[in-house]
Structure 1
Amino acid sequence: FSGLMEDFNALPESRGKALPPAGHLQALARPDAPDGLWRDDRLKPGYRDIVNRNRFASAARKIYRYLRVYLGKPFTDDELIVEPLARIWGSPARDERIADYLIEFGVEPWDKELWRREAGAPGDDSPLAGLRHYDKLAWAKAELTRAFAREPDAIQVGSAFYSSHLYRWNEAAIEHKKRALSALEREGL
């Protein structure tokens, strides 16, 4: 995760940039691990011990309720979703959590290349593509390319791209950034 190093995540005048990332150091660089237990001494007493499973469950409940309200449906059944998730998040083994997601919710296994294929984009046929964290290496290469003012290689896609999940996700991310920047500006941040 490259966070604020990415131009599209950068908020040039944000006062928050002066603060270290909350949790990353305290959680030993794994603040987002579902089974994480860690401590942040910057918080008030009583809030310093962090149990990620509880934080995730609270966030899941809010997201579920927002989505149900958006759909015009009741949200009183949130425990049917949140309780199984909280149980899954308590498992320390990542592979076990993944298997539990698939079984509990009947979802298909994640396929890293699915959205690329659906969008008609060429697969990543680099000999390094199978390496763990290769995406970070690709990001670093793109950043170095940009830093030295060389145009990145263009990726040719077909018309299927514009009706793909990847395209819709990207458009939603652009719109989200626009709205977030507008909200921050309204608040003087």
Structure 2
Amino acid sequence: MNNIRFENKLVELKIELLSLIRSFFLFGNPKKVRFGRRVRLTGKIRFGNDVTIQDYSRIRGRNIEIRDHVFIHENVFIRSAVTVQIGRGTTINRNTCILDHVIIGNDCSIAPNCVIVGSNHQFMDGSKTIKSQGSEIVGIVIEDDVWIAANVTVLDGVTIGKGSVVAAGAVVTKSVLPYTIVGGVPAKEISKRNHVLV
């Protein structure tokens, strides 16, 4: 048992050292971004301070901004065709996929296995293949202090209002008012959260 603990500690130290070197090489600051194993970055990406990106996550595209104190768990895929912004203090949990045009506010919690896609295939012309008709991009906005529970899908054109909660397994097809709890397929209002208007 002690041998396993010692081996695990050595692996952790190696990952930490490689992260410090990579962050210093990329940003001139060894602690700006903490990298896990095999994190891949491609394109135009701007980072705030104290960002963590854990093992096997991939971020690629243009106009991507990840602000201060963001924590990205394992195997997250972020791809931007237009803009992806992730606000300060937000957590993106493992196996989540964020694509195309998505704005996420501050202090949000996104649970594992969520799919947030700010685009949609054109498909109405039955005489053409779906792939040949291209995509429409409206975008998704997730405002501050939103909790999106596990296995949620958010479709293009949706705004999820400040302080809202999306229950596990929901498919969000329409915008959600602030401080609202929604769930189901398609997602519908379940109740409201108590809050003080400022």
Question: Which TM-score applies when normalising by structure 1?
Answer: 0.25
TM-score between the two structures when normalised by the length of structure 2: 0.24
Which of structures 1 and 2 has the larger relative contact order (alpha carbons within 8 angstroms, sep 6+)? 1
Instruction: Tell which structure's C-alpha radius of gyration is larger.
Output: 1
More helix by share: 1
